[in-house]
Chains A and B, each alone.
Chain A
Amino acid sequence: KAGVTQTPRYLIKTRGQQVTLSCSPISGHRSVSWYQQTPGQGLQFLFEYFSETQRNKGNFPGRFSGRQFSNSRSEMNVSTLELGDSALYLCASSLGGTTGGEQYFGPGTRLTVT
């Protein structure tokens, strides 16, 4: 079974621009979660989608948004980029429901904002 894939792997953007990151979960997985990882803040939860609905959301500004498609693929969008948005963005998929959260992670997208 193919793992979680994320595209692109690396991205350089300028402050004020917007960016869209993509995540394809493991086949059969219906839940997709997004995390931001930085050296200073560690791993921070952004949001989780299940069957095209956002079920859970972390404490991030509205500039961070996401969506999930009917095939469970998910996109994350960040508008009006700030220097502090430079981070590794990780996507994780799971079966969903009440499985207790066994998640499988993609390799991440490294976003650099200049």
Chain B
Amino acid sequence: AQSVTQPDIHITVSEGASLELRCNYSYGATPYLFWYVQSPGQGLQLLLKYFSGDTLVQGIKGFEAEFKRSQSSFNLRKPSVHWSDAAEYFCAVGVKTSYDKVIFGPGTSLSVIP
């Protein structure tokens, strides 16, 4: 069965420090991969997506993610974190079936220390 894991429940970083959020998935084929961000009390916003091609994808707000097929991973990175990046981050896998099926990870909560 398909699944998504985000090993880190909560991460705290200092403002200006680099960030890497981990995501691993379980799926038999090459999936579509997404990262979403959710600010408190808000809906989810799509940060970036990987469908095919270049395994390093750029997203909004200075985020990037790298797809590594051999490790079944899709880690999210940002070189310098801003206080406004504090939020919940969800990794998701889109499964190619006859219809849209998206599986979300449990989320990683990011705190930023000024």
Chain A residues near B (Cβ < 8 Å): 4, 6, 31, 33, 42-43, 45, 48, 50, 55-56, 88, 90, 92, 94, 96-108, 110
From known contacts A42-B106, A43-B107, infer whether A99 and B100 are also in contact, taking CB-CB under 8 Å: yes
Chain B residues near A (Cβ < 8 Å): 31-32, 34, 36, 41-46, 49, 51, 90, 92, 94-102, 104, 106-107
Across the two chains, which residue of chain A brings its CB closest to B50?
Answer: A100
Across the two chains, which residue of chain B brings its CB closest to A105?
Answer: B43
Across the two chains, which residue of chain B brings its CB closest to A108?
Answer: B43
Contacts of A31 in B (CB 8 A): 99-100
Question: Which residue, A43, A56, A104, A107, has most C-beta atoms of chain B within 10 A?
Answer: A43
Contacts of A50 in B (CB 8 A): 99-100
Contacts of A48 in B (CB 8 A): 99-100
Docked Cα-Cα span, A97 to B96, in Å, equals 10
Interface contact B90-A43, CB-CB below 8 Å? yes
Interface contact B45-A105, CB-CB below 8 Å? yes
Interface contact B101-A56, CB-CB below 8 Å? yes
